[in-house]
Amino acid sequence: MTFKDILKITFNLVVLYLAGGLLLAAVYAKTSPIIYKNNELEKARALKEMMPEADEICYIFEFTDERLNKLRDKGVPEEIINKLKELQNEKMIKGKEEFFKTLEEMLGAEAVENYKSLLFKTLKANDWYPHGKHAEYFITKKDGQVIGYIVQTFGKGYSSYINILFSVDTGFIVQKIEILHHAETPGLGDEIELDWFKNQFKGKDIEHLKVDKTGTKKEYIQAITGATISTRAVSEDGIKNGILFLQKALKGEVEHGSA
């Protein structure tokens, strides 16, 4: 093989890789908005199932001085900063889109559009980080009255971090739980997905989210045979800690967006 042949092969490979990269970029650009929209619809469906009687599921916004100063440092006009301060006490909003709609009504769409991406990244809402994983929590309302809360949390299982969604009423009594994702052992830990396991959480308060391995204390959570670690990951590490965090957050004892 001559040097000219090597150059020719190299050139063809470079062209092929570039063409493949451009094709992948084009496909991603086309499908990314669709995937995002589908994910949002799936998220809305899952939240609704957690508390079907609710007619509103609200985000919790909090604009701290630290976050407002970050926006100032990035060049956001004082006019927008002042409007964010006005919204400080309006912590219950259905979602980020409603937040931006409210801000646009105050300032005009053009003024907000220039900083929309920055605000999305800087102004966190209803988020926390169990085990360093990003999770969210929500207020649920019916006829304008708060009827409970929905919390996403993570528990450290035997072979995975278990992604959990659960709802509680205003007395922090568990109403429903769902396992969003896990990689626990098939035939053992994966029983956390079964109805018999999930249904036993309904009506439990924080004092009764303990695991019973004996099967005799029905007021507690019955352990899955051979999968106590997975059971504790859901009940104690996941849901119990999620409720403890929620209680602190609602009292203002933690900043939204912190662990």
Q: Per residue of the chain (259 residues), give pLDDT as tens.
A: 676 666 777 767 777 777 766 666 666 555 655 654 555 566 677 888 999 999 888 876 666 677 788 888 888 888 888 877 776 555 555 566 677 777 788 778 887 888 877 776 666 567 889 999 989 899 898 988 899 999 999 999 999 999 999 999 999 999 999 999 999 999 999 999 999 999 999 999 999 999 998 878 889 999 999 999 999 999 999 999 999 999 998 887 765 444 4
pTM of the predicted structure, to 2 decimals: 0.70
Confirm if 62 and 125 have CB atoms less than 8 A apart: yes
Structure tokens that stand for 24 in this block: 């992948």
- How many CA atoms does the CB half-sphere of 248 hold within 13 Å? 14
